[in-house]
A and B are shown apart, each in its own frame.
Chain A
Amino acid sequence: MITLEEENLLLDRILAGDKQAYARLVDRHKRFAFTIAMKVLDNRPEAEEAAQDAFIKAYHYLKNFNRQARFSTWLYRITFNTAISYKRKQKPVFQSAEQTVIPQAGLAEQELEHYDKLQFVHQAMQALNEADRLALQLFYLNEFSLEEVAGITSQNVNTVKVRVHRARQRLAEELKRILKQEALTL
């Protein structure tokens, strides 16, 4: 874990022209930035491009970073906004509920039932509106605090709180509906 002091020293070195110091920052934050881009875009090559673009933007605008927030929050906000602008250019892609990210190979019967249930949650997630879904996913991503999610998405903390709460409620409602429907079809 890098301290605030170390981070500031690193930023000073980068601003003085030390590019290798920036490579260290990229290495440190790339997984988070990439995962955030993936949550928005749901497409690996595009998420990778958006995350790289965000790092390049952050480097060019580093002198404008006022250091009132953590560098990570500022960087993730750039990543989030870059991914959103990529999303606007993205052509709509049909994704079936079966194309979930949870692997199922080699599962026992009980695990398979659990996996099936998770499929239903995935299906329910698709019914949420995009802003609520993103707020919820970011909140659970490495357990970001509401303040951090608000910083990344450039929203008010209360708005994020409402979104997360509402998204969980809707998710539960949607899941209930799906499970009921499934029970009827059996």
Chain B
Amino acid sequence: MKLPITDEHLLRYLNGELSMQEILTLKDQISASAALQQRLEELRLIQTYLKQTSQLQNPGFNFTESVMHGLDHVRIPGISIKRGLILLIGSLVASGIALGLLSLGAFDSSTSLLIEPSVQNKIFEIPKISIPFNTKVLINGIIFLNLGFLFILLDRTILKPLFQNRTVNHY
């Protein structure tokens, strides 16, 4: 009984994956059908093309040296230039607002942090603890840290990639 010949059969035949019995049956059917012969020729052409264009290709002469050179460069994953710029602008705006409020005297008053005992004792009184702190100093500290963060961000996301690109283009 003749079974319908599919492309899969023909491909397996071209790949040498069929048994001797299957090959003989297939050959009989192919010789009797011009359409099958044409299809086999098309598939053979595809196999030839794919094998010819699938040869391994050689990269440039100093490929390994370039990779080894690249290993020494510090990589900062996760911060793209776009993200870095957004963070940079955000930090600048936050610092600007804090400096503006400082100059308006919003943090001039001195505050104290009051700590009350959680358990009341009738025999002797536990004193309330009050820690005075200056909000202005705290905000100044935050602005200072923010500026440090800004400098690092500027260096990592804009300056370093810019100078690295210049070096690469130079060579």
Known: A55-B67, A140-B51. A48 touches B60 (CB 8 A): yes
B167 at the interface (CB under 8 A from A): no
Contacting pair B45 A175 (CB below 8 A): yes
Measured CA separation A35–B53 after assembly (Å) = 10
Distance to closest chain A CB from B84 (angstroms): 17
Tell me the dominant secondary structure on chain B's binding face.
helix
A179 at the interface (CB under 8 A from B): yes
A176 at the interface (CB under 8 A from B): yes
Contacting pair B53 A27 (CB below 8 A): no
Interface string of B51-79 (1 = CB under 8 A from A): 11110111110011011101101010000
In the complex, chain B residues whose CB is within 8 Å of the CB of A22: 68, 71
Contacting pair A34 B63 (CB below 8 A): yes
Chain B residue with minimal CB distance to A53? B70
Contacting pair B50 A140 (CB below 8 A): yes
Chain A residue with minimal CB distance to B38? A176
Measured CA separation A153–B24 after assembly (Å) = 38
Chain B residue with minimal CB distance to A34? B59
B9 at the interface (CB under 8 A from A): no
Chain B residue with minimal CB distance to A59? B71
Contacting pair A172 B43 (CB below 8 A): yes
Contacting pair A121 B45 (CB below 8 A): yes
Contacting pair B54 A137 (CB below 8 A): yes
Contacting pair B57 A179 (CB below 8 A): no
In the complex, chain B residues whose CB is within 8 Å of the CB of A38: 57
Chain A residue with minimal CB distance to B72? A19
A171 at the interface (CB under 8 A from B): yes
Contacting pair A31 B56 (CB below 8 A): yes
B116 at the interface (CB under 8 A from A): no
Contacting pair B57 A169 (CB below 8 A): no
In the complex, chain A residues whose CB is within 8 Å of the CB of B70: 52-53, 55-56
In the complex, chain B residues whose CB is within 8 Å of the CB of A26: 63-64, 67-68
Contacting pair A101 B50 (CB below 8 A): no
Measured CA separation A125–B11 after assembly (Å) = 17
Chain B residues packing against A (C-beta within 8 Å): 7-8, 11, 39, 42-43, 45-46, 48-54, 56-60, 63-64, 66-68, 70-71, 73, 75
